[in-house]
Structure 1
Amino acid sequence: MLSRRGLLAGSALALLAGCSSAQPPPGPPPVPQPAHPSGLSEPVTVQRMPSAARGTDVDLVLITPEGVPASGLPVCLALHGRGARARTFLSLGVPELLTAAVRAGTPPFAIAAVDGDHYWVNVGGADDPQRLLTDEVPGWLAARDLRPPSAVFGISMGGFGALRFARAHPDVKAVATASAALFVSWPDARSRKLFADEANWRAEEPLLHTADLRPRGLGVWCGESDPFRGADRRLVQAVAPEVSRFTPGGHDDQYWRGVLPEILKFVGERLS
Structure 2
Amino acid sequence: MNAMRTFWLVLMLIGSPAWAFQSRVVTIPSAAMHRSFDATVVLPDQYVHGDPTKRFPVVYVLHGSGGDYTDWTANSHIGKLADRYHVILVMPDGGHESWYIDSPVDPRSRYETYVGTEVVGYIDSRFRTIATKQARAITGLSMGGFGALRIALDRPDAFGAAGSISGAVDPRGSEDEPGIERVFGDPSQHAEFWNSEAIVASAEDFGRDHIALTIDCGVNDSLVQSNRLLHERLVELGVPHDYAERPGGHTWKYWSNAVKYQVLFFAGTFRQAAREMRDGRAAV
Paired position in structure 2 for 1:46: 25
Which residue in the other structure is 1:261 paired with? 260
In the TM superposition, residue 207 of structure 1 has moved relative to its aligned partner by 1.9
Alignment check: 8 A CA contact 1:97 1:260 kept: no
Residues 61-100 of structure 1: pairs in structure 2 closer than 5 A:
61-68=40-47, 69=50, 71-91=54-74, 92-99=76-83
Check the 8 A contact 2:168/2:174 in 1, yes or no: no
Return the letter of the residue paired with 1:128: R
- Kindly, what percent of the aligned residue pairs are identical? 24
- Distance of 2:73 and 2:242 partners within structure 1: 25
Q: 2:156, 2:211 within 8 Å by CA — same for their partners in 1?
A: no
Q: Residue 174 of structure 1 aligns to which amino acid in structure 2?
A: A
What SS class does the counterpart of residue 212 from structure 1 fall into? helix
Offset of residue 216 of structure 1:
5.8
Q: Distance in 1 between matches of 2:200 and 2:41?
A: 30
Q: Which residue number in structure 2 is paired with residue 127 of structure 1?
A: 109
Q: Which of the residues 111, 120, 123 maps onto 1:138?
A: 120
How many residues were matched structurally?
Answer: 224
Contact 1:216 1:242 survives alignment (8 Å): no
Within 5 A, what are the aligned runs for 1:67-216? 67-68=46-47, 69=50, 71-91=54-74, 92-99=76-83, 101-102=84-85, 108-117=86-95, 118-123=98-103, 124=105, 125-141=107-123, 142-148=125-131, 150-171=136-157, 172-183=159-170, 186=172, 188-192=173-177, 193-194=179-180, 195-196=184-185, 197-214=190-207
User: Hey, what's the Cα distance between the residues in 1 that align with 2:205 and 2:94?
Assistant: 23
Q: Distance in 2 between matches of 1:146 and 1:166?
A: 18
Q: Check 1:242–1:209 CA distance in 2 against 1; reply closer, same or farther (3 A cut).
A: closer
1:50 and 1:169 mapped to 2: Cα distance?
A: 20
One-letter code of the match for 1:190? E
Deviations along 1:166-222, one digit per CA (max 9) or x if unpaired, are 2123343221110001227x4x34322512132332232212221222376111111
SS at match of 1:213: helix
Task: For 2:55, give the aligned amino acid.
Answer: G
Residue 162 of structure 1 deviates from its aligned partner by 0.9
Q: 2: distance between equivalents of 1:134 and 1:177? A: 16
Compare relative contact order (CA 8 Å, sep 6+) and give the higher one, 1 or 2: 1
Q: Aligned partners of 1:166 and 1:138: how far apart in 2?
A: 12
Distance 2:82 2:26 in 1: 20
Q: What is the identity, as a one-letter code, of the residue corresponding to 2:119?
A: V
Larger relative helix fraction: 2
1:182–1:139 Cα change, 3 Å: closer
1:236 aligns with 2:245: no
Q: Which residue of 2 aligns with 1:271?
A: 270
- In the TM superposition, residue 164 of structure 1 has moved relative to its aligned partner by 0.6
* TM-aligned CA deviation for residue 227 of structure 1: 0.6
Any gaps of 5 or more consecutive residues in structure 1?
1-41, 103-107
For residues 189 and 260 of structure 1, what CA distance do their matches in structure 2 show? 23
* Contact persistence 1:189–1:201 (CA under 8 A): no
Residue number in structure 2 paired with 1:35: none
- Are the aligned partners of 1:47 and 1:60 in contact in 2 as well (CA < 8 Å)? yes
Would you say the 8 A contact 2:116–2:155 is kept in 1? no
